[in-house]
Structure 1
Amino acid sequence: MNKQTLENTISILGCGWLGLPLAAHLVQEGYTVKGSVTQAERFEALRQKGIAPYQVEITDTSITSNDLAGFLESEILIINIPPSRREDVLLYHQAQMKLLLDQVLKSPAKHVIFVSSTSVYPDLNQEVTELETAPPSKDSGKALLAVEKMLRTNPHLITTIVRFAGLVGYDRLPGRFLAGKKNVENGDAPINVIHQDDCIALITGIIQQQAWGEIFNACADMHPTRREFYTLAAAKAGLELPTFAAATDPHFKIINSEKIKQRLNYSFKYPDPLGLL
């Protein structure tokens, strides 16, 4: 590919619940999009949306792909593979990303968007911004923070980190999460969620406005309590309502997303989580 073609080409590592509709949207915006899945059986679903499909599977010891070099032949790489749910996630996820980074540095990709999570913040019982330095409490958050640093400190890449709150929307129905559960703890804690449509719009905005080299929080403006949100979600879904334990001192964080809103001049499509139920 020549440089002019590369500038309009985006590779998305991980075309799952968020990556696939993101890729389809970027195709509609006029980009050439390459998308990766772990199973070749999913190629046709990508082709139907105008996405060039590639098989890429990364473990802590190897990368399996039908054409990794071809997949990485883009100006922009979006890394959208969350840490695996496993006991050794801290070491495993870093090893995965180290293998990937070694290959990215051999490619023409120079701009990276890393899809991270607000799990990099511990529960501090206060509002948190991107300047917060308190270490994560969970290994998955520690793994993400370590990979963020790995990417951001590499002098050959310009990386933007997007820390998404809990992902909701469409077939990810929060009514099922706590339906029928009894004596759920922490009912008075405020929640942090973001709709899929806002995730896609924000990533698109970062690309189109060239908001590179940044760290952004991304979360709906309003923060109803767990009790309010999950009770209403279950009711709207026609499911058994959860019950919550007697009020105790909640443990929580409130994610502040003012930075990305100001930088991209963005207003959330779903600012109130109760409004998306």
Structure 2
Amino acid sequence: MNGAEADTAGGDGALRADCSRCFGLCCVALPFAASADFPVDKPAGRPCTNLRTDFRCGIHADLRGQGFSGCTVFDCFGAGQQVSQVTFGGRDWRRAPETARHMFDVFAVARQVHEVLWYLTQALDMAPARPLHGELRRAADETRRLTRADADTLAAVDVGALRQSVSPLLLRASQLVRDQTVPGRKKNHRGADLVGARLAGTSLRGANLRGALLIAADLTGADLRGADLIGADLRDTALHGADLTGALFLTQAQLNAARGDARTTLPAGLTRPGHW
């Protein structure tokens, strides 16, 4: 996104957001509502008032200060530049307005396809998941083909079915990694409602936290080494002094949504957010 605090880390370089090659798609295609994350309402398809004519964000340097913290926690995983420069061949929606609606619809799907591919490439980097690398590689190759498809094919992708098809494979990869790196019984909080939970100092090493709601939870000083955090909601989660070494499937956007400090230990490839 124009204004993202950091590029997507790890994996395929094509899955790293490059706003300089995107037509500000996330700033136009996606809606947002007045909330703690945004100061105003904006419907899908209407450009954000901060989007400049060169498709850059006019308040990039002060998004949080201006009330647009929601922008800093969004990641397109490279879908923006792919749709702009490849799928639509460099035709932008301003100079070719007839492409706008279709481009925006395609971007909404492509962003999710790219996210799935990012998870698959992460799993392929996990040595303990080597027994699954053949399956993972086939799934990644098929998903990568989708990212390179024409606009009509991309728009028709059933993202829900795609996620369901790869989710068991990613879970098996996660289990292999956690079983090898964290011996013994591990906590399972998959999909748990832990909003506001007081978990300071808790050992969640190797835990399954897939899809867990950890909004405003206190994980100060918690041991999250090797925990599976795919899809976990870390908005306003306190990670001060927490150890996230080797956390699985953790994205930069999740970190950007949380709160931490200089004592928070991050997985390799991720960047300490500027607001910590």
TM-score (norm 2): 0.28
Higher strand share: 1
**Structure that is richer in helix per residue:** 2
